[in-house]
Structure 1
Amino acid sequence: MEKKKAKVAIIGAGVSGIAAANVWKKCGYEVTLFEASEQVGGQWNQTYPGVSLQNTAPQYQFSEFPWPFKTDRHPSGEDVLKYLNQAVEEFALTIQFNHRLKAMTADPQGWQLTFENGNSHHFGYVVIATGQYPGGDQKRLPRFNNMDLYQGDIITNIDSKEVFKDKNVAVIGFGKTALDFATWSSETANTTKHIFRTPRWTIPDYLLGIDYTKPFFARIGSGMMPSWGASTWMQKLLHNRLPFIVNGFWRLICNLFLYQHRQDAKLGSIEKKVLDVVIPPKSQFMADFRSASALAPKRYYEYIAHQGISPYRGEVSAFYEDGIILSDGQKIPADMVCLCCGNEAPNYDYLPKKYAQFLQINGGPSLYRHQIEPRIPNLGFAGYNHGFMHIALAEMGALWQIAAYEQTFQLPSEEDMLASAARVMQWKKDHSSYESTINMAVNTRYQQHLDILMQDMGISQWRKMPNVFAEVFSRYDPTDYKGVIKEYLTKSQQTSFGAIKPTVAVDA
């Protein structure tokens, strides 16, 4: 068990890094978290005031550390940071703050890490947990013609909702930030115009009065989600032999979403076509369930219907002194333009070039099981399987990496792992709406992904059994994975996992 003595470095003390560090520590490793800033939280320290968690609190917690204080259904950013700080204390994690990684040098025993403050340390294994957008507050600022002529304000982030007050605001984009900004702007601005090339399907918080997580986080719902890999025989049967059932199910859900958005818009006697400009075609419904799927902000559709927000489908081609010009020549006057175009994509300049080249892919790194790049030794990733049950995904991903590192199950050949990752990447390209970091997420395919990780490790994926009804119809929460680490440790001591065969074919 020599590898048990290896020291492990986790780069990044956001939620994924904290989750990974706790799992590695519980498995007997000496773990140090390195954080570039002065506090834990990652992106939660860089976000805008008023932001809240898109997911619900029960779906966003560590499996063995439920929320220790009362919070909203969708916790505020402040509450998330409070929870993460309490988790660090509960897990007794070691964190080195103000340590921004400068370089990594590989050797037969692991990695030599050099930080910008001059410190240098050696570790046997390193986990990159800097997230999908390690640039932090480096929001994308695309360049348009004549931007320098514009006399108003161009912003990518806000310090307060008050920035919109008495302004004529134009919001560009259709992600969560754009939807939030447009909604908030309409409450205090003189005018709010929302411009986007393509609208996306958004998720109603409640569907016919039912918490949306209850049907979609139960296997009866999650199993209906098309994915690159089926994790049960029932999924294989449904998607390969009975696709008409799957298609019918999602047509029904699409119509229910549409009905709910109209209800939330409080149309009254207003013609329902008023929402058409922000409602995508039904054929786009499944493709929009990518990693950046947004929960519909409260009152967004109401403001659209009641002219609090003026929506425009179009593409910005240029600026002029008093606003922006769309590709069709239409001028949109505005004294504030909010460019909500996402964050800068991650880079890996601190890695040797021979390894960094494997990660610089359009859409983000394409990893085997969203965990490792087979050509880079002693290196794993946390949070690159981002999804609707993110913390459980990060925890089980870390445990999978430990099992792979300890060789307690048989990995496929390098060639097969690379082929598997390529198939997953191609599936996402073929079945998902574009996103700059699409390879770094599993999103609504979280249950299939979790199941596959468990199958690889030889641990039961059925976390609610022997209650069959609960297994099929009850919502899965991160707490269902409480005890999995203990199961792994017990089994690794009692059984030789070497006989477990790789399951690469599952995501073919």
Structure 2
Amino acid sequence: MVHDIAIIGAGLAGLSTAKTLRQFGFEVTVFEKEADIGGVWSASRRYPGLTTQNPRETYAFSDWPMPADYPEWPTGAQVQAYLETYVDHFGLRSSIRLGREVTAARPVGDGSGRWTIESRSVADGSVETKAFDYLIVCNGIFSIPAIPPYPGSDAFRDSGGQILHTSQFTDPEIARGRNLLVVGYGKSSCDVARACMEVAASTRVIARSIIWKIPKKLANTLNFKHLFLNRLGEGLFRYIEVKGFERFLHGPGKPIRNAMMNSVQGVIARQLRLKEIGLEPDGKLETIARSTVSLVTDGFYEAIGDGRISFHRGEIAELSPGQARLSDGTTVPADVIICGTGWHQRCDFLDRDVLSKVTDERGNFRLYRSMLPLGVPGIAFNGYNSSFFSQLNAEVSALWIANMLVGGLVLPPEEEQRRYIDSRLAWMEQRTNGKHSKGTNIIPFSVHHMDELLAEIDLRLPLLTRIRQWFVSIDAAEYAGLLPRLLKRHGRTLSTTSTGRN
């Protein structure tokens, strides 16, 4: 019988999992190595210029809206403050252990599915060990910064140069009066360059490839959420299994679908003047489905156009004191290098035997429904499904896990789970050209993924809601009724107190 659950990570997935499981009557302990909650929104990781990619109503939890006075795209600090109110409203504060890093998580070894968790205090180094009935890993896929090992890095640093990941660059004053070189073309890289160009002596961006970016408002009028944050927006991209109206979009109606995509692509190219500034991608707009979807940073392209930000295609070949030699042979001044170069998807706290079952030889996470590894009892993952609607995916996954833990889900045979995992990984690798974040990237198929989870636990959204979601952007509040329905199914009622307990 599962009673006491350990959760690693106090980001979106960890908090929503803790809140949901407590409402089902479980005891939870959340381990968070940072001094505050929030995960990617923690003050320890907020780079200058950080905002959400989603409008606030699409990025809130279903049962806790963001404040009405927040801007449409809240800042990182505002999101973290919002999460603090979520913790307080649902009475999670006493369950969260801040400043404690999980250094080891091991099966107890008696076949019970229980886990021994070893955690270390970040403040004083003290170590604690405790056994739990179940473990849920919510440390996220954006937890370990990846910085390339540039030749000459040591000499560059010894001379006073700094090399930081975007998540480590929390103070723009570091760039004041210095030559800034930003690596990458994702949202974080563009945000940092734009936020620091006024204080840096010079600002340059270097990237190996150019991707399509989506303006917040197409033609400066239409909010992108009405095109991409609904079921029709997802349906424009071919899913692993095409059903319903999507059969038309990718069959007889494909010319209509292609015309829509080409039209949007043309609008974006003209609006951002991509050809004029030399930043028009080679591929089609639909390639945004291969790895990630990045919003345009306000003012970034204007700064490229008037020379306040310089742009180079390629990569850093070598560093030396005060400068960087680029792959095209150009040498540029550089005092501070900020790397928006991705993340390592790893769980270093798991031992080798467990990891060999959780991941394959290439590091891909082998998880049924992006949550359950095969052959490792007593453990689940939440948040290992990068998506447009991270918080909603985390909530729906938490419902799926809770339903499983209270005996409401009969899993398919292990061989069927294995076929599902193999099929998903093969499809993800093929459609992303290998940029599938070790099997954790479901962009842009967030709603498809939630639909599958809800169908498996017989908790679908009402039909009229699903129809509406084809034509307007998804509102997180549309998912608020799912938890009460699942609680009622299991003879429980939704708590009316802030503690979230029944």
Aligned to 1:108: 111
Structure 1: distance between partners of 2:51 and 2:21? 29
Report the count of equivalent residues. Answer: 473
Report the alpha carbon displacement of residue 422 of structure 1 after superposing the two structures with TM: 2.1
Question: Which structure 1 residue ranges, 5 or more long, are not aligned?
Answer: 263-271, 495-508
Report the alpha carbon displacement of residue 358 of structure 1 after superposing the two structures with TM: 2.9
- Is 2:142 the counterpart of 1:143? no
- For 2:309, give the aligned amino acid: I
Out of 245, 250, 254, the position equivalent to 2:265 is 254
Out of 162, 173, 193, the position equivalent to 1:182 is 193
Equivalent pair of 1:195/1:315 in contact (CA under 8 Å): yes
Report the alpha carbon displacement of residue 360 of structure 1 after superposing the two structures with TM: 4.2
- Is 2:222 the counterpart of 1:210? yes
Equivalent pair of 1:286/1:432 in contact (CA under 8 Å): no
Q: Deviations over 1:205-256 (max 9, x none)?
A: 11121111123222222222222244x4222443356444433332222222
**Alignment of structure 1 residues 7-156 onto 2, 5 Å:** 7-45=4-42, 46-68=45-67, 70-93=69-92, 94-106=95-107, 107-109=110-112, 110-116=114-120, 117-135=126-144, 139-150=145-156, 151=159, 153-156=161-164
Equivalent pair of 1:55/1:74 in contact (CA under 8 Å): yes
Aligned to 2:204: 193
Structure 2: distance between partners of 1:165 and 1:89? 38
- For 1:422, give the aligned amino acid: D
C-alpha change, 1:149 and 1:89, in structure 2 (3 Å) is closer
C-alpha change, 1:227 and 1:435, in structure 2 (3 Å) is same
- Is 2:425 the counterpart of 1:409? no
**Alignment of structure 1 residues 444-455 onto 2, 5 Å:** 444-455=444-455
- Where 1:386 maps in the other structure, the secondary structure is coil
- For 2:197, give the aligned amino acid: S
- Where 2:213 maps in the other structure, the secondary structure is coil
C-alpha change, 1:27 and 1:291, in structure 2 (3 Å) is farther
Aligned to 1:424: 424
Greater Cα shift, 428-437 or 46-55: 428-437
Report the alpha carbon displacement of residue 73 of structure 1 after superposing the two structures with TM: 1.5
Percentage of matched positions with identical amino acids: 26
- Where 1:288 maps in the other structure, the secondary structure is helix
Question: Which structure 2 residue ranges, 5 or more long, are not aligned?
Answer: 121-125, 493-502
Structure 2: distance between partners of 1:457 and 1:475? 25
- Where 2:367 maps in the other structure, the secondary structure is coil
Out of 216, 235, 242, the position equivalent to 1:223 is 235
TM-score by length of 1: 0.86
**Alignment of structure 1 residues 96-495 onto 2, 5 Å:** 96-106=97-107, 107-109=110-112, 110-116=114-120, 117-135=126-144, 139-150=145-156, 151=159, 153-156=161-164, 157-208=168-219, 209-230=221-242, 232-239=243-250, 242-262=253-273, 273-276=275-278, 278-283=279-284, 285-290=285-290, 292-343=292-343, 345-361=344-360, 362=362, 364-432=364-432, 435=435, 437-462=437-462, 464-465=464-465, 468=467, 470-492=468-490
Report the alpha carbon displacement of residue 436 of structure 1 after superposing the two structures with TM: 7.0
Structure 1: distance between partners of 2:333 and 2:29? 52
Structure 1: distance between partners of 2:329 and 2:319? 11
Report the alpha carbon displacement of residue 453 of structure 1 after superposing the two structures with TM: 0.9
Equivalent pair of 1:455/1:461 in contact (CA under 8 Å): no
C-alpha change, 1:31 and 1:351, in structure 2 (3 Å) is same
C-alpha change, 1:351 and 1:169, in structure 2 (3 Å) is closer
TM-score by length of 2: 0.87
Q: Deviations over 1:240-284 (max 9, x none)?
A: 56444433332222222223323xxxxxxxxx63322x221233x
- Where 1:365 maps in the other structure, the secondary structure is coil
